[in-house]
């Protein structure tokens, strides 16, 4: 099933990957999930301020509104995440509108975990999966950076003429 929230979030991605991600999602991811799960993009483009709020979680912001202890969710402050440049997105599976980050559950019974069906579709198109990282594994995360790291993206962002009319880095 196509998730309209995901379609709106895809529109925030960098123009170099936006159409490709849309087509992969609609033409490959949605048809691959034949059971009760749906893929939603939890995050795509993240502002520097949004990134700083996530970075504060578990560091300077220790508790949520209910008093529950917060854990660290990212090692990247504002400007130091590929999300800040629209080249990354995080997924979550929805089963009956309930979020699931279970990477081994096979909701559609085809003997392949639904999470990995989505991940493998994107990996086969040249996207890097955070679950393959050696240090901090980030299983919801996918990115296509065209060989750029966050520091290179940041340098482009800061340079005069480094942004297009919509605020995306030019490379």
Instruction: Quote the pTM value.
Output: 0.93
Cα-trace Rg, the chain: 17
Give 91's strand partners. Answer: 41
Looking at residue 136, its pLDDT comes to 81
Q: Looking at the domain assignment, is residue 15 inside a domain?
A: yes
* Token output for 100: 């699931």
Looking at residue 73, its pLDDT comes to 86
The 3-state DSSP class for residue 39 equals strand
Is 99 within 8 Å of 140 (Cβ atoms)?
Answer: no
Q: Looking at the domain assignment, is residue 68 inside a domain?
A: no
Q: Looking at the domain assignment, is residue 60 inside a domain?
A: no
Q: Looking at the domain assignment, is residue 53 inside a domain?
A: no
H or E element: which one contains 141? strand 141-143
Q: Render each residue's pLDDT in the chain as its tens digit; 171 residues.
A: 999 999 999 999 999 999 999 999 999 999 999 988 999 999 999 999 999 999 999 999 999 999 999 999 888 999 999 999 999 999 999 998 899 999 999 999 999 999 999 999 999 999 999 999 998 889 999 999 999 999 999 999 999 999 999 999 999
Looking at residue 114, its pLDDT comes to 97
Looking at residue 36, its pLDDT comes to 86
- What does the buried/exposed string (b/e) look like for 28-47 if buried means 16 or more CB atoms within 10 Å of the residue's CB? ebbebbeeebbbbbbbbbbe
Strand pairing of 98-100 and 88-95? antiparallel
Q: What is the CATH number of the domain that holds 138?
A: 3.30.1380.10
Full DSSP string of 28-48: IIHHH--SSEEEEEEESS--H
Specify the number of domains making up the chain: 1
* Token output for 27: 């033409």
Looking at residue 21, its pLDDT comes to 98
Contacts of 10 (CB under 8 A, 6+ apart): 18, 21, 22, 25, 41, 44, 89
C-alpha 64/C-alpha 157 separation (Å) is: 32
Looking at residue 115, its pLDDT comes to 97
Q: Looking at the domain assignment, is residue 62 inside a domain?
A: no
Q: Looking at the domain assignment, is residue 65 inside a domain?
A: no
Can you give the residue range of the structural domain that contains 139?
4-46+81-158
Q: What are phi and psi of 89, to 5 degrees?
A: -150, 150
* Token output for 30: 């949605």
The 3-state DSSP class for residue 20 equals helix
C-alpha 169/C-alpha 142 separation (Å) is: 19
Stated length of the chain: 171
The 3-state DSSP class for residue 165 equals coil
Q: Looking at the domain assignment, is residue 114 inside a domain?
A: yes
Q: Looking at the domain assignment, is residue 58 inside a domain?
A: no
């Amino acid at each position: 099933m196509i998730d309209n929230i995901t379609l709106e979030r895809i529109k925030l991605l960098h123009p170099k990957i936006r159409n490709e991600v849309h087509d992969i999602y609609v033409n490959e991811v949605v048809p691959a999930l034949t059971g009760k799960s749906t893929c939603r993009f939890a995050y795509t483009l993240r502002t520097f301020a949004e990134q700083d709020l996530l970075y504060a979680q578990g560091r300077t912001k220790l508790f949520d509104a209910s008093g529950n202890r917060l854990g660290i969710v990212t090692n990247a402050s504002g400007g130091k995440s590929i999300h800040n440049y629209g080249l990354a997105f995080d997924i979550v599976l929805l089963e009956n509108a309930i979020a699931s980050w279970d990477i081994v559950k096979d909701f559609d019974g085809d003997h392949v975990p639904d999470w990995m069906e989505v991940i493998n579709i994107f990996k086969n198109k040249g996207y890097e999966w955070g679950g393959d990282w050696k240090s901090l594994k980030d299983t919801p995360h996918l990115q296509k950076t065209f060989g750029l790291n966050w520091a290179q993206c940041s340098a482009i962002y800061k340079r005069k003429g480094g942004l297009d009319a919509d605020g995306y880095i030019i490379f």
